[in-house]
Structure formats: structure tokens, C-alpha cells
Amino acid sequence: MRVIGTAGHVDHGKSTLISALTGVHPDRLKEEQEREMTIELGFGWLTLPNNEEIGIVDVPGHRDFIGNMLAGVGGIDAVVLVIAADEGVMPQTKEHLAILDLLQTPTGMIALTKTDLVPDAEWLDLVESDIRESLANTVLQDAPFVHVSAKNGAGLDNLLDTLSKLLEDKPARLDLGRPRLPIDRAFSIAGFGTVVTGTLADGNLSLGDEVLILPSEQKGRVRGLQTHKKKEEISVPGSRTAVNVSGISLEDIRRGEVITKPGQYQITRRLDARFRLLDDISQPLKHNTEVKLFVGASETIATLRLLGAEILNPGESAWIQLELRDPIVTVRGDRYILRRPSPTETLGGGVIIDHQPIGRHKRFDKDVIEKLTSLAQGSPADVLYQASLANGADTLKKLIQEARLEDTDAQEAIDELFAEKKIFELEKDYVIATTHWSALTERTLNMVTDYHEKFSLRVGIPRQEMKSRLKIDTKLFNALLKKMGETKHLVHVDGNVKMPTHSITFTESQQAKIHALKRRFSANPYSPPTIKASYEEVGDDILNALIELGDFIKVSQEVIFQESDYEKMVEILRTYLSENEKITLSESRDLFSTSRRYAQAFLEHLDATGVTRREDDFRVLR
């Protein structure tokens, strides 16, 4: 299903032509009908001679409503540029043509209307020649001409035949599995609620789908779908779609927002793009100029930062970074238009190269320019690689979506990147750029090595501390430890991570302190020195090391036992319970000839480790 747009000067008969073709007049507002001027977007549909149904978007022709025109012209497959034979090319026609060229509209034709008012064939030839001169070096330079008269119907069949031929060889819209519908109109229907319309891109919408409206992050559900007033179970990419959304009120929706599925798109306030300044612009473009950005159906104010240039002269192109006042949803490959807010003027436009740049670029950084050039001109493998560099570790599916690659190109790009070892597989379909992987593993090894040097009496760095310091997500962290464990670069020990060569060793003086402490424990094994007293005797680092090595068992914040004494206590208690079935705290205290503090800490530790279970005032074997 295709969508075409009709553009042209306000007096050139666009709406009348659409009415003659479809039987539906696109100017639905009372003001439009009274002024005979399209103000808002108009819509219609028809069936071509080859039985293909197409949607029509009629965009305003008056320069005061260029913003409305831009909201509807971005998602079209072809354009019918309407020019009146009795008037020829007008200034607004040229601006519409410039916009269509900047948007790289896939194909189009010229409808020369009101031919019934110009009976002189020579005049028509002159008008055509003038128009053809205006079309030179634009996307419509080879566009066919059709002479029509909406008044008497002449040429209408030829227009439809020509449109059929223009569309028949054009590829279907991409289905990337993640739909987005830029909202160009929203209204309410009694008994149904909120309805939004737009041209669907990049995926399907189905009845019952949970949807998210961005950037407002409102959640709803698809209650109904229509295309050309026909109910649908599924809407496909490229179709004019009306979505009846439940759970969202009309007052909370505005033009330019995007209907998506949860978790598939992110908003952005910064864009990297290629930009071309129009030839007939009134003045050169300076760095930090405030502009209006139009992309999809959205419109927002932005600050334009020139990259690699101090100033841009008419007709020149440059890399730019746009800092947006309001968040929007867009993706790599979307085309956009920039206008000057005041005095209003279309400045130019181009294509978005990076819709989620990591930061604010240095304006004359050669690496930034090289990266953007690679993204713009590179092969599918280059584009996918740049996506992996930008995203860090991610799924292949997500990277392919970011790169906007079709299935065949995507598989070839993946194979090429693996063959050249530019990406590294952490687990099935979860990859990271090899350069990122090398940097991450080097940083990890340096961190663990430094930790061993600083805390030589600790087994290793705690996993959670390591994850926090690396500042990576859980999935990547787990994959990192698994891979580095498989390659024997790191070893996991009881929640700690260490180098395989690292072991805790004590100096002679430290050994002497340890022996002295152990003698004190052996002298009174079931009522030994407290943790505080032990710290005072050997120091925090030594005692913690002895605990990590398992020489001592910490059973509470105050009580610690030698490992051999602890195991003997467990054996004694098991024997007692096998003969007596249960034991009280006071009986436990007497069993070990110790104090209540030690007996209670010991029993609570056994409860926690699953040796015993408390039943009222008794302990029993679990």
C-alpha cells in the first residue's frame, strides 16, 4: 500500500484535482472551504488501474502553512506536483520543490492543471519548458508531465495510468519489526474515543497491541485499525493508518508524537546529520543559529552547531549537530528540513546520520568527521560496525534495527564483521565491538591487579564492587566474568574475583601474630576472643584474610570461632540432637560450657546456614 502527496501553489487546484479523482474533497475545515485554501493536511484514497489502493495526503500550498505541509510530506512514496497551466511556476512552487528535493522523495510527476483555460498549445509548451528548467538537478528532473482539467475531466485517466507506472517498480517499505507511526492528526469519535492517524513505518501494528506514545510516554492499546476507512486486523509499513487507541485521552496527544511498541525506541534531544544549505538562501548560515527542525510529523526548535566549518555559504553542505529544545523520536536515515523561525525561510535539509550521539562533539575533531562520513557513505558492514561502537554490547537484532538494514544486507554485514574479527560474540547473538572488548578486558585486569596490590591480604575484589566500578550493566558484567573465567584470566572465589596467580601470604611478623591469636582461641575454643579483641590483636586486614581463607568462621558481628573448633561444635550438636531430638538455648550453653552470647550466635548461624531449624524455643536438625 502506497502513499502519495500532492503539492503546489495555493491557487493551482490541488484540492479540486483530488476531489475529481477520489470523490472526496480534502479541505474539511469551514475556514478552508470559505477561503478556498488548504490549511491543514487533507486526506483521500483511490484505486489505481492496476487495482493498487493508494492513500493521498494533500498538503497546504500557502507559505504561511509550510509547517503543516512538512508534517504530511515526509512519509510519501511519490508526489504529484500540481502547477496551474495559466500561471506556471510560482515562488511557493519553488519552495515546495526544494523541500521535495531535500527529502529525496522517491518519485513523482507534474500535473499541469486548468488546461481548459489555456487553449493555446504554444503557451503550454512555454509553461512546460519553464517548469522543466525549475526541475533541473532535483529529484523531479525526469518526472513525466500530465495535462489535466478537473473541470471537464480531461487527462485524469492518463494521470492515474502514469501514477501506476511510477509506483510499480518501487520497493515495498522496510519491515524492521518495530513499528512507528508519526502522528499527523488526532481526533475523537463518540463511542470509540481517541483516534490518531499517520503513515506507518518500519513494522506492523495489530489489534490488541500494547503501544507507547513518545515522547510523552503514555501507554495504551490498539482498539481498532483502519486504512482508507476499511477495518484491518493488521496495518503494514507504508500504509495510511488510523489507530483507535484506548487508555489515552485526546487532550494528551499532540501532532509530532510517535506511536510505537514499548521498549523499541528512545527519545533524543541531540542529532548528528548531513546538511545542505539551499542555493537561493538570503544569507550564509552561522554556527549556533537557532532553527526549526521538521522530521516525521514533528516540529521543534533546535540550535545548529556547525562541525568542521565556521560558516556555511548558499549551496554548500556540512556536518551538523542539532541540540533540540524538545525531545523527539527519529532514527538514522530519516530525512529532515530546517527553517529559519524569523523571518521564516526554508534553509535546507538532509539526512540524519546518528540519532543518539553519545555527547556534544568538538567542532573540529577529525575523528568525529571520519565517523560520520563512514556512517553516511559506508557499506552495510561499516554501518553495522558503527552501530556496535555506539551501542557497546548489544544484541545483533538491536544493532541491525539501529543500522536499519534489510535481512540479506544484515547477514552479509554480520558475516563480514565476524570474519574480520571486528565484533566479538559474548554469547549467542549478543556481541560487542572487538575494540570495546579489548579495552574492557584490559581495564578489568588492571582493576583486579591494582586491587591485589592495594589489598594483598584479601582473596579478591568483591563482585558487586567490581561491577559498580566498571559501570556496566548486569548482562555485560556476567558475560565478562564468564568469558574471562573460561580463558583463565580471572578466577571466582566465594563472591570475589581474583587473578589466578594471586594468593594470600603473610610475612613472618604477621605469622607470629596469627600464631599468638590461635593459641588464645585454642585455650578457650567455645568462648574465644571476640571479633573486636581479635582485630585489636592482629589488625583488620589479617583477621579478614583469615576469615576469607576459612581459618576462622564469623558467626555474628561479635563472635568468631576457629574453623576446626566450629566444625567440632557442629559435630557435638548433631550428636546431641540425634539422641535428644531438640535443644534449648540454655541447654546449648551448658553443652559447650560457654556463655549465652556465644551459644546464641552459634545457633542462629546454624539456622541461617540450614543445619538447624527453630521451633518455638527449641532447635531441631533441619
> Could you read off the pLDDT of 279-321 as tens digits, one per residue?
988 889 999 999 999 998 899 999 999 999 989 999 999 999 9
Classify the phi-psi angles of 294: left when phi > 0, otherwise alpha if psi is within -120 to 50, otherwise beta.
beta
431, 411, 410: which is closest to 422 by C-alpha? Answer: 431
Q: Beta strands 108-113 and 145-147: pairing type?
A: parallel
User: Is the pLDDT at 15 greater than 50, yes or no?
Assistant: yes
Percent of the chain with pLDDT over 70: 93
Cα R_g (the chain), whole angstroms: 36
> Could you read off the pLDDT of 20-32 as tens digits, one per residue?
887 776 555 444 4
Homologous superfamily of the 269-369 domain (CATH): Translation factors (2.40.30.10)
Average confidence (pLDDT) over 372-377: 83
Q: What is the pLDDT of residue 122?
A: 81
Residue 242 DSSP SS3: strand
Q: What is the pLDDT of residue 33?
A: 45
Per-domain boundaries in the chain: 2-168, 180-260, 269-369, 436-498, 508-621
Identify the band that residue 38 occupies on the pLDDT scale cut at 50, 70 and 90: very low
The x, y and z cell numbers of residue 357, run together, are 550521539
Q: What is the pLDDT of residue 8?
A: 61
Burial of 1 (0-12, 13-18, 19+ CB in 10 A): buried
Homologous superfamily of the 2-168 domain (CATH): P-loop containing nucleotide triphosphate hydrolases (3.40.50.300)
The x, y and z cell numbers of residue 586, run together, are 540454655
Percent of the chain with pLDDT over 90: 46
Q: Rounded mean pLDDT of the chain?
A: 87
Name the least confident of 111-120, 250-259, 434-443, 560-569: 111-120
Q: Using CA atoms, how far apart are residues 395 and 414, in angstroms rounded to an integer?
A: 12
User: Is the pLDDT at 66 greater than 80, yes or no?
Assistant: no
**Measured between alpha carbons, how far is residue 327 from residues 262, 270, 271, 330, 540 in Å?**
17, 8, 11, 10, 52
Q: What is the pLDDT of residue 13?
A: 67
What is the C-alpha end-to-end distance of the chain, expressed in Å?
69
> Could you read off the pLDDT of 127-140 as tens digits, one per residue?
888 889 988 888 88
Q: What is the pLDDT of residue 58?
A: 76
**CB < 8 Å & 24+ apart, contacts of 116-123:** 116/149, 116/151, 116/152, 116/154, 117/85, 117/86, 118/85, 118/86, 123/85
Identify the band that residue 85 occupies on the pLDDT scale cut at 50, 70 and 90: confident
Q: Which CATH number fits domain 508-621: 1.10.10.10, 3.40.50.300, 3.90.1010.10, 3.40.50.2300?
A: 1.10.10.10
Which H helix or E strand runs over 524?
A: none
Backbone torsions φ then ψ of 439, nearest 5 degrees: -65, -40
Q: Is the pTM for the entire model greater than 0.75?
A: no
The x, y and z cell numbers of residue 2, run together, are 502506497
Q: What topology does CATH give the domain 180-260?
A: Elongation Factor Tu (Ef-tu); domain 3 (2.40.30)
Q: What is the pLDDT of residue 518?
A: 93
Average confidence (pLDDT) over 370-387: 84
Q: What topology does CATH give the domain 436-498?
A: Arc Repressor Mutant, subunit A (1.10.10)
> Could you read off the pLDDT of 220-249 as tens digits, one per residue?
999 999 887 788 899 988 888 889 999 899
User: Is the pLDDT at 2 greater than 90, yes or no?
Assistant: no
Q: Using CA atoms, how far apart are residues 475 and 379, in angstroms rounded to an integer?
A: 30
Q: What is the pLDDT of residue 61?
A: 52
Same fold, 436-498 and 508-621: yes
Q: What is the DSSP string of 310-339?
A: SEE-TT-EEEEEEEEEEEE---TT-EEEEE
